[in-house]
Structure 1
Amino acid sequence: MSGIFSGGDELGSIVNLGPIIVFDTVAVVASLSLALTLAPALFSGNVHRSKPWYSMITTMMIFPLLYLLNAGSQFNAEEAPPIGLCILQTGFIYAGPPACTVSVLCFLTDMTLGLRAVIFNGKRNKTFMTALIIMPSIIFASVFFEAIALVNANRGVHFDATHMFCESNNKGPQVKISAVLTVISLVLTLGMEVWAVSLLYRNWSAVRSFRQTHTDLQLSVMLRLGVFTLVVGFAAVLGAVTLPANLQGGGIWNIFLVTVPLLAALSFGTRRDIISAYAFWKKGSNGSQAGSGDVKAAV
């Protein structure tokens, strides 16, 4: 890493504090919201989730925190950011978006295959299920080390134009790799959702026979996941249309990036069993849903 430097033309420029404060606040709120979503599944006996769900929520929760590695340096326009943290953050921010979208894809794939297994009384391949769990981590690690290698080759990192986070001096290759993987994951997710809807439609009579079972719960989660994916996909299209401006840094676009995990918390953290886990005044009532094992099978 010798010879790598932080800093650049942005030193001495005027820092707009308002967007940075909003950016940091949204990142903190998003991570806390996802932590509150994750906690009942970890510690409550009435909330059960699949392993790909844990992988997705954990990935989404960590992603906005990575933008806060240089939180203490964002407001200082006269000094370069800490070189070590800046290099780490540069790798993390390019690895985060594809890892998050892949985690959503793996979660939806797990649900769809589970639904198919229930309808046709089939079995799921355990090796493939394991791959769904570890795939987001593999994507994250691969893009992270690729980004770090390119930072080394380009010999420089600095704060972006908004002073919200660090980036490579020549970030074109990292942006393209991250964007391509993210778009591919989103397209595959939309394709998987079409397959799931088709599966439900063609087997609706069988689905209706599973009253109060995990199939009903899967339908609810798929609807939530579909809305979440469409919103993120629409935003990605808008981002692609304005890609040249985004490459120069944009406060609104950056804030949206850390808003996506917050949307995930709103989509998956408002389930009845999760909310009930925090309703301490109802602990004595028989308010838990029947068949917690079914919930686990569903999501």
Structure 2
Amino acid sequence: MISSTSAQGFNETNSNVPVNIVHGTEAELVLFLVLNMWPSHFGLPILLAIILLSKKVHRHPTFVNLCIGFIIIGVSSSVLLYAGKTSGPEPSKMLCLFQASMLYGVPAFASLLALMLVLQMFLVVRGAVNKQVSQGPHTIRLWAMLIVPYIALLISILATTIVGASNPDSVSRNRRYFYCSVKSELLSGTIAAVGAVFLFATVVLEIWTLVMLYKNWRSARYPGGVGVELSLPIRVMAFGLYVILAMSLSLLSVNAPNSPIPDLVIACAATVTILIFATQPDIIRALCFWRKDPQLTFTPLGSTTKTNTGTSSKV
């Protein structure tokens, strides 16, 4: 329960506001909002609609989960815009703590979403290069891959809420400029460290996957015209490079928080995801619905796709 002193602090909007540590400009604020809003309000919903409604496009649930997660992140980053509090007087402590608690969950949440997607890529490629026939769905593993990121998000939200509610003066928009934050070195350091661990695991799996593809390129295909998508190594590498960049900038944000660059580049995550994965051949074919389907179909990330001959396979 919040004490009366804390409750009084939540009703104030400008008392003891922490000093600004991120030196951003109005143009950078607009860019930050655009980078968060266009994919979460437009790009990703369209991509999800194609995946869920098209009979010719199939994606593993971990990829759908990644898209949904980035929509949640984009909406959370836009809370102050919805309330008309991106500039001017400080927003209410309650509103500010709500956004801060959501965004402080992003490092672990987004890192785990990426890790689960890359893990699925790794499992598909390993099965392909070892010529392993699918033994049916792994229900428990699948549900764990889908739920674990949200458990991490919930834990981060609860931890941030407890810290912010116990010290309302630490909650402000002014401190991080682009969004509300909670001034707590222990909380920020812990969240950054946990996110970095997950990102490091993601990089390891990315490298492992690329090594397997490099060593077994000719054997990483099943007979019958169905196998790992030919552009997969390029997309894996591109996604891995961005993961490394995000991890580096996350650490930079802790050591040099006055720079707006880490927040802006990390805000590009959803856009990078769209550029990498929405340009896959079957997505393009679904958009260009007037073109005739090719006879050969590839199945990315463990999806099932039919060819014109009626055969199907699951990578």
TM-score range, shorter chain: 0.7 to 0.9
Matched, 1:159 2:176: no
Q: Which of 233, 237, 240 is matched with 1:226 structurally?
A: 237
CA distance in 1, matches of 2:53, 2:96: 35
Q: Which amino acid aligns with 2:279?
A: T
CA distance in 2, matches of 1:293, 1:29: 28
Query: Are the aligned partners of 2:115 and 2:198 in contact in 1 as well (CA < 8 Å)?
Result: yes
Q: Which amino acid aligns with 1:256?
A: V
Matches within 5 A, 1:244-259: 244-246=255-257, 249-259=258-268
Partner of 1:50: 60
Alignment deviations for residues 218-248 of structure 1 (CA, whole Å, 9 cap, x no partner) = x5335313322222313432442463321xx
Matches within 5 A, 1:56-135: 56-71=66-81, 72-76=84-88, 79-118=89-128, 119-121=131-133, 123=135, 125-135=138-148
Q: Aligned pair in 2 of structure 1 residues 44, 183: CA closer, same or farther (>3 Å)?
A: same
CA distance in 2, matches of 1:74, 1:207: 50
What runs of 5+ residues in structure 2 fail to find an aligned partner? Answer: 305-313
Partner of 2:34: 25
Partner of 1:200: 213
Partner of 1:243: 254
Shift, 1:116, TM fit: 2.7
Alignment deviations for residues 113-155 of structure 1 (CA, whole Å, 9 cap, x no partner) = 1333342235364312221111111111111111111112223
Matched, 1:138 2:146: no
Shift, 1:159, TM fit: 0.5
Q: Aligned pair in 2 of structure 1 residues 193, 16: CA closer, same or farther (>3 Å)?
A: closer
1:49 aligned counterpart, secondary structure: coil
Larger helix proportion, structure 1 or 2? 1
Range 203-212 or range 26-35, more displaced: 203-212
CA distance in 2, matches of 1:136, 1:238: 21
Alignment deviations for residues 160-193 of structure 1 (CA, whole Å, 9 cap, x no partner) = 445321111x232232122112211111111112
Q: Which of 284, 300, 303 is matched with 1:296 structurally?
A: 303
Q: Which of 211, 227, 234 is matched with 1:214 structurally?
A: 227
Partner of 1:9: 17
| CA RMSD in angstroms, aligned pairs only | 2.8
Query: Are the aligned partners of 2:39 and 2:74 in contact in 1 as well (CA < 8 Å)?
Result: yes
CA distance in 2, matches of 1:251, 1:204: 41
2:220 aligned counterpart, secondary structure: helix
Say how many residue pairs are matched. 288
What runs of 5+ residues in structure 1 fail to find an aligned partner? Answer: none
Query: Are the aligned partners of 2:105 and 2:156 in contact in 1 as well (CA < 8 Å)?
Result: yes
Q: Which amino acid aligns with 1:296?
A: S
Q: Aligned pair in 2 of structure 1 residues 138, 237: CA closer, same or farther (>3 Å)?
A: same
Q: Aligned pair in 2 of structure 1 residues 56, 276: CA closer, same or farther (>3 Å)?
A: same
TM-score of the aligned structures, taking structure 1 as reference length: 0.84
TM-score of the aligned structures, taking structure 2 as reference length: 0.80
Partner of 1:40: 50
